[in-house]
Structure 1
């Protein structure tokens, strides 16, 4: 039985032991208090690395047959280095994979470490839990920002949430500073900046009641998601797209499918499908572990 440890790092650290692509035992969470959401944001990079190491060692619980450790981190991840991390800026430039691997060895855990974008880890988790490890899986995560994950892993930045979907110079709400991005339309932060007098849920509630301004935005929001999906289809081919995240509640699948159909007209590219799934830590942990196992055998 293949044993790996999967870890996700975002608002908190969540780690778990994965055996044959299934979670084995309880997950460890730091910080444990759900209202302490800024604990990691305020930590120096060295302290985050130490915390990760301690959580992993506790999950391992003295086992010597763990082959790999996978860590999902939001941002641009390449060759084991965090090149950009908007939500954990102190990690930018960190040789994360190398440093964490060294710390684990110092604590008696000699396992390969694989660092990947957290959305890619989520895509791998969906592939593992949905029996699609032999297929291309793509996932949009709709939250504070917009994440895009792909399985199997391919080299590249894959910052799909920053796909340019409009040429309107006024569309400048993306947190990266770029104009016309999906995230600048769909991201929770961007929506709050756009509607200073309303929360995002209030915008969609008003749209359902026929408010013209909010209904126009609902259409723009869905067109942005459709445009990002259509772009991926044109670049990477058709297939299954999963949609998750706390703002998946705003998705109108009928509207979204209609817009995608208007954008994707070449018949060989029309064999795509959409499915809404729950975004949970267990799937992300499994995905990070699966990706680490596969990286260890490449």
Structure 2
């Protein structure tokens, strides 16, 4: 049974030892406080590399037969290089796989380091957790940004969160600066920019009052709820038209806002070819353990070529 270490780099560094596609021991977190969301953004690259390696060594905990380390993070990665990462801009252009490998060697751990997009890590983790490593699955991660992950891995960019879902010139809230993007409608950061006087939770609570917002309500919230679901439907329908039907998982802390009947109705309006209608949708909890396992599974599979 291969022993690998999975690392997730997002608002915090999460790391865990994975044996036979399951966690062996607790997941370590840095910073320990879950509400310290700006800790990593404020760290320069060298400090962040050292922090990641420190967590890996603590998780290793004396094990000598570690096969690989997988690091899942937001952004566009290619051959171990961070080509872009709006959420962690200090890492843009960093040869992060080489940097991590070199630092781990300084700690006595000489193993391959595999870098992947964090949404792909979620997809791999879900496949492992459900015993479906031989199935094709896709996942939308709904958080500060919008991630699109797929398993099994395939060459490509797969930045589905930046899919263009509207031609409205005013839709320019995406963190990358692009116009009409899915993330510019659904991303948590984008929603806060759009509703400067309300938090996303308040927007969707107001939307429950229905059209016109009910007595004394705010109709713009209900209209935005429809736009939000149409955007996710458009991104999903585009994926179906490009890669065929199949299983879609919906996760992330903002999956709580999903009205599944509304979403399914919009997708049905967009996908009309009968051979493409055998898709399914499932909302799953955003689980840190799943993400860590996914990063480790990806590292193990990378050893197989």
Match in the other structure for 1:208:
208
Superposed CA RMSD: 1.0
Match in the other structure for 1:24:
24
Please give the secondary structure, in 2, of the residue aligned with 1:297. coil
Assess if the C-alpha contact under 8 Å between 1:14 and 1:30 holds in 2: yes
Structure 1 CA distance for aligned equivalents of residues 36 and 260 of structure 2:
34
Match in the other structure for 2:216:
none
Match in the other structure for 2:248:
241
Number of equivalent positions: 298
Please give the secondary structure, in 2, of the residue aligned with 1:226. helix
Structure 2 CA distance for aligned equivalents of residues 174 and 156 of structure 1:
21
Match in the other structure for 1:64:
64
Unaligned runs of 5+ in 1: none
Please give the secondary structure, in 2, of the residue aligned with 1:175. coil
Structure 2 CA distance for aligned equivalents of residues 203 and 234 of structure 1:
31
Deviations 1:6-37 (A, max 9, x none): 00011111100000000001111111123432
Assess if the C-alpha contact under 8 Å between 1:76 and 1:84 holds in 2: yes
Residue 179 of structure 1 pairs with residue 179 of structure 2: yes
Match in the other structure for 1:269:
276
Deviation at 1:193, TM superposition (A): 1.4
Which stretch shifts more, 270-279 or 30-39?
30-39
Match in the other structure for 1:279:
286
Structure 1 CA distance for aligned equivalents of residues 91 and 15 of structure 2:
19
Match in the other structure for 2:116:
116
Assess if the C-alpha contact under 8 Å between 1:78 and 1:156 holds in 2: no
Deviation at 1:106, TM superposition (A): 2.3
Which stretch shifts more, 17-26 or 187-196?
187-196
Structure 2 CA distance for aligned equivalents of residues 192 and 60 of structure 1:
39
Structure 1 CA distance for aligned equivalents of residues 48 and 34 of structure 2:
18
Structure 1 CA distance for aligned equivalents of residues 38 and 269 of structure 2:
42
Unaligned runs of 5+ in 2: 214-218
Structure 2 CA distance for aligned equivalents of residues 199 and 30 of structure 1:
27
Deviation at 1:234, TM superposition (A): 0.6
Please give the secondary structure, in 1, of the residue aligned with 2:303. helix
Q: How is 1:25-174 mapped onto 2 (pairs within 5 angstroms)?
A: 25-174=25-174
Q: TM-score w.r.t. structure 2 length? A: 0.96
Assess if the C-alpha contact under 8 Å between 1:70 and 1:116 holds in 2: yes
Q: TM-score w.r.t. structure 1 length? A: 0.98
Equivalent position to 1:290, from 290, 297, 300: 297
Assess if the C-alpha contact under 8 Å between 1:142 and 1:245 holds in 2: yes
Match in the other structure for 1:189:
189
Residue 252 of structure 1 pairs with residue 259 of structure 2: yes
Deviation at 1:148, TM superposition (A): 0.8
Structure 2 CA distance for aligned equivalents of residues 245 and 66 of structure 1:
30
Assess if the C-alpha contact under 8 Å between 1:82 and 1:92 holds in 2: yes
Deviations 1:164-185 (A, max 9, x none): 0011111111111111111111
Structure 2 CA distance for aligned equivalents of residues 273 and 63 of structure 1:
41
Deviation at 1:41, TM superposition (A): 1.0
Match in the other structure for 1:225:
232
Deviation at 1:89, TM superposition (A): 0.7
